[in-house]
């Protein structure tokens, strides 16, 4: 069984789905590995390093023609799917809620497509959790970006010229990215506060050094079965904004992480709130790819409104491509090996991890949360 590793084609994407040290793990399990020429360049991995680890380094055409299993980081382009063999197994991030066209195309090619973002959040799948791995990097990089752009020090400094007050940081959302942002901002010397609609995360927030902010809101139904924040009503978000304004205008840095799977990001910081913030303040909007938590955020760009910089970068894991690739490689290989027994690969639909992440199979879109997006279309 040949596992093919494709080079990422999205401009600026520097990660690679498999690193050399993990090649040997797959080979010990009875699998062969082929890597597209130059696939590891963005993560500073040479073709020779893959060869030394036991992989073959070949042109893209051979990857598509010979591989039974394909590894990628990002969702494939339509042109890549066209080059895949019918019946291939594809494992990568799929962005499936927003890519009905891709789901349809994979189904028509009878490709078994696994979306790593759909791996269930259960104990047995923790080592396969790509979302958490990448979110942790995003939280770290968010603070580094904020420190770069903020025209102030982060730590308190006592000097002969006077005392410098520490930067005040407010983190909205205490998932993996938020908790890493809190810990990183704290290590840099900032005074950190955090808010989340889920009261249950208060202890986690305090454990990494921040003060947990509580608003007068009804939050009993704030968390879904997977541990993610649930979408709330417009009235809820309006009340939230009203109470959050006093906090936002008093700080130097705001980091927002509020994303709802399959939904547009809720707007938490309005233009009115921006107008009240201190000139020179920085907002790092980690939800910018889906519209952003900040009114006026633009995915992939830095914009300035009312003297406040709003950072909408969407490629933070790629900016730490070495470690991002290392973590992704561990996650994706562990996911695959869960389906390999004595060198034989099999899709076991009785396994909740396998079933939870399988989006397309045998000519159909099979995931219960994705099928409604293709209602009435072939492949549903």
126 is catalytic: yes
Instruction: Determine which one of 126, 207, 362, 377 is catalytic.
Output: 126
Give the E-state strand segments of 208-281 in sequence order.
211-212, 253-256
Are 125 and 354 a contacting pair, CB within 8 Å?
A: no
- Cβ count within 10 A of residue 119: 24
Q: Report d(CA 191, CA 169) in Å as an integer.
A: 6
124 is catalytic: no
Instruction: Determine which one of 56, 121, 187, 319 is catalytic.
Output: 121
Are 286 and 255 a contacting pair, CB within 8 Å?
A: yes
Are 305 and 281 a contacting pair, CB within 8 Å?
A: no
Q: Report d(CA 362, CA 109) in Å as an integer.
A: 9
362 is catalytic: no
Instruction: Determine which one of 56, 132, 243, 319 is catalytic.
Output: 132
Instruction: Determine which one of 83, 228, 319, 351 is catalytic.
Output: 228
The token pair that represents 10 in the structure block = 């999205």
Instruction: Determine which one of 129, 196, 252, 285 is catalytic.
Output: 129
The token pair that represents 45 in the structure block = 């991995």
Angle at 351 between CA 350 and CA 356, to 5 degrees: 105
Q: Report d(CA 238, CA 266) in Å as an integer.
A: 11
Residue 120 CB contacts under 8 Å (≥ 6 apart), including other chains: 226, 352, 353, 356, 357
CB half-sphere exposure, 272, CA atoms < 13 A = 9
153 is catalytic: no
Are 194 and 174 a contacting pair, CB within 8 Å?
A: yes
Are 286 and 124 a contacting pair, CB within 8 Å?
A: no
- Residue 128: φ, ψ to 5°: -110, 0
Are 52 and 23 a contacting pair, CB within 8 Å?
A: no
Q: Report d(CA 317, CA 128) in Å as an integer.
A: 16
Q: Report d(CA 222, CA 231) in Å as an integer.
A: 8
121 is catalytic: yes
Active site residues: 121, 126, 129, 132, 228
């Amino acid at each position: 069984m040949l596992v093919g590793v494709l080079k990422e084609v999205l401009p600026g994407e520097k990660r690679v789905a498999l690193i050399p040290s993990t090649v040997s793990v797959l080979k010990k399990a009875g699998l062969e590995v082929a890597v597209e020429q130059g696939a590891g360049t963005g993560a500073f991995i040479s073709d020779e390093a893959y060869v030394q680890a036991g992989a073959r380094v070949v042109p893209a055409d051979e990857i598509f023609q010979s591989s039974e299993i394909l590894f990628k980081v990002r969702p494939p382009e339509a042109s890549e799917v066209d080059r895949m063999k019918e019946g291939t197994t594809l494992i990568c991030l799929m962005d499936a809620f927003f890519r009905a066209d891709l789901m349809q195309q994979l189904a028509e090619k009878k490709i078994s497509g696994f979306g790593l973002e759909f791996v269930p959040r259960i104990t047995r799948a923790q080592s396969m959790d790509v979302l958490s791995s990448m979110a942790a990097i995003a939280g770290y990089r968010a603070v580094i970006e904020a420190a770069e752009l903020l025209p102030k020090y982060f730590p308190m400094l006592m000097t002969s010229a006077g005392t410098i007050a520490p930067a005040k940081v407010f983190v909205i959302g205490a998932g993996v990215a938020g908790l890493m942002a809190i810990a990183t901002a704290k290590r840099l010397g900032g005074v950190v506060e955090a808010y989340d609609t889920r009261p249950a995360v208060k202890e986690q927030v305090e454990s990494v050094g921040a003060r947990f902010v509580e608003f007068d809101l009804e939050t009993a139904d704030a968390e879904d079965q997977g541990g993610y924040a649930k979408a709330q009503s417009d009235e809820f978000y309006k009340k939230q904004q009203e109470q959050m304004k006093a906090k936002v205008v008093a700080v130097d840095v705001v980091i927002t992480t509020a994303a709802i799977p399959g939904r547009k990001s809720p707007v938490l910081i309005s233009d009115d709130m921006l107008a009240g913030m201190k000139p020179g303040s920085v907002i790092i909007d980690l939800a910018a790819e889906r519209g952003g938590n900040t009114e006026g955020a633009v995915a992939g760009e830095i914009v300035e409104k009312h003297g406040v910089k709003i950072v909408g970068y969407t490629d933070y894991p790629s900016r730490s491509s070495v470690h991002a690739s290392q973590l992704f490689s561990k996650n994706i290989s562990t996911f695959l090996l869960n389906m390999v027994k004595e060198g034989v690969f099999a899709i076991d639909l009785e396994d909740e991890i396998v079933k939870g992440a399988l989006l397309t199979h045998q000519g159909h879109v099979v995931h219960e949360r994705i099928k409604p997006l293709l209602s009435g279309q072939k492949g549903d």
